[in-house]
Every structure is written in structure tokens, then in C-alpha cells.
Amino acid sequence: MPCVTPPPSDTDPDAERVHLELLRAASPSRRLRLALSLSRTAMGLARAGLAQADPGASPEEIGLRFVALNYGPALAEEVRRHLAHSREAGAEPEAERP
């Protein structure tokens, strides 16, 4: 089996060892909560970057750009059409998730 060299890290080796021990000892539900929190943070930062790049863009447009970048332009266009159809039908679009 080939040896895999870990990427360079600015984390103290003892701190990294303790961190890994804590992760390994965590329950599956705790690990899931940590993963979901990290995902929410990454998505929030990505959306903030999109908003900073175009300060005049609406929250809806930022969301559509996020979808296009992460899931593809075809899905973003489908979501755009769905939102337009919902507005035409008089339905309020769902509030943006935190």
C-alpha cells in the first residue's frame, strides 16, 4: 500500500492529534452535527463572497448564482423558472434558509 503524505499544516501536531482523537471518540450524531455546521459555514461564506462581488444583486440572484456554481447552470435556470412561475401564481417564495 502506498504511503500518503499528509498536506502541510500550520496546526501544532499535538493539537491535531487531540483534535483527531476527539473526532474519533465523538458519537455519529455529534459527527453529523459537526459536518452539517461546517457545510453551513462554507455555504454562507460562498454566498457572502458572491454578494461582495456584486453588491447590487438581490438575495434571490445570489442564491441562483450559488446554485449555478455548485450544481450547474441547468439547475439554476430550472430554479429561476420555478420561482418565476410561483410568483405568477401568487405564491410567496420560501424564505432563505439561515
pLDDT at residue number 90: 81
CB 39 within 8 A of CB 47: no
Give the start-to-end residue ranges of the domains of the chain: 28-88
Q: Give the Cα-Cα-Cα angle 75, 63, 34 (nearest 5 degrees).
A: 100
Instruction: Band the pLDDT of 89: cuts 50, 70, 90.
Output: confident
Q: What residue ranges in the chain does DSSP mark as E strands?
A: none
pLDDT at residue number 92: 62
Q: pLDDT digit string (tens) for 25-50?
A: 999 999 999 999 999 999 999 999 99
Q: What is the pTM of this model?
A: 0.70
For residue 98, pLDDT beyond 50: no
